[in-house]
Amino acid sequence: MDRKQFLKTCGLGCLGSIAAVSLLNSCSSARSMNSSIDGDNLVVPTSDFGNETHGFRKFIVVNNDLLKFPICVFRHTADSYSALWMECTHMGAELQVFGDTLQCPAHGSEFSDRGVVRNGPADRALRSFPISIEMNLIKISLKKQ
Ligand code: FES
């Protein structure tokens, strides 16, 4: 291997390392957590989304053993959140979340961070839950509407 080829190989190796670190960092900003149910509400501390100093997560996936599917909670602003049932409205597969999009691994439907269909075959919005914020706690009402 000559000098030029050696430098080219090392450069590509460094780029690969940087890409891998960036990918790991983006994964660490996502968060999945178990949350408690208090009465009719699933309760999530606002601090779980981060803070001014370290930045805010765009979403958290919340689980509870009593729930058949997780709920994805998106933070839009300090006092605006969406809580979306992660069951695809097409045929009921569990959705995956990437950035501001929920995607279905079964047939490719996509939903926005407010539950609106972006791409079919699903043709109905996701189930969403009313939210109230009290004492830095996000309360997601699980009451049937
Ligand atoms: S079950 Fe989600 S697109 Fe079909």
Residue 2: which domain range? 1-30
Residues 26 and 87 reside in one and the same domain? no
The reply to whether the predicted model has a pTM over 0.85 is no
Query: Residues 77, 102: one domain?
Result: yes
Query: Would the CB of 118 count as within 6 Å of ligand 1?
Result: no
- 12 and 51 belong to one structural domain: no
Q: Would you state the pLDDT for residue 36?
A: 82
pLDDT in the model for residue 37:
86
Q: Which residue's CA lies nearest to atom 3 of ligand 1?
A: 107
Say if ligand 1 is within 6 A of residue 91 CB: yes
Instruction: Work out how many domains the chain is built from and give that number.
Output: 2
**What digits encode the pLDDT tens for the residues 4-20?**
665 465 444 444 443 44
State the pLDDT at residue 25: 40
Are 66 and 120 in a shared domain?
A: yes
Strand locations in 8-53, DSSP E? 32-34, 36-38, 41-45, 50-51
Residue 49 has a pLDDT of 86
Same domain, 101 and 128: yes
Contacts of 57-61 with CB under 8 Å at 24 or more apart are 57/29, 57/30, 57/31, 58/29, 58/99, 58/100, 58/113, 59/30, 59/97, 59/100, 59/113, 60/31, 60/32, 60/33, 61/30, 61/31, 61/32, 61/33, 61/86, 61/97
Q: What are the angstrom distances between the C-alpha of 25 and each of 17, 28, 29, 30, 41?
A: 12, 5, 7, 9, 32
Ligand 1 centre distance from Cα of residue 121 (Å): 7
By most ligand atoms within 8 Å of CB, the mutation choice from 86, 109, 119 for ligand 1 is: 109
Together in a domain, 95 and 136: yes
pLDDT, tens digit (0-9, with 9 covering 90-100), for 42-65: 999 998 888 888 888 899 999 998
Q: Residue 102: CB within 6 Å of ligand 1?
A: no
Low-confidence residues in the chain, pLDDT < 50: 7, 10-28
Q: What percent of the chain has pLDDT over 70?
A: 79
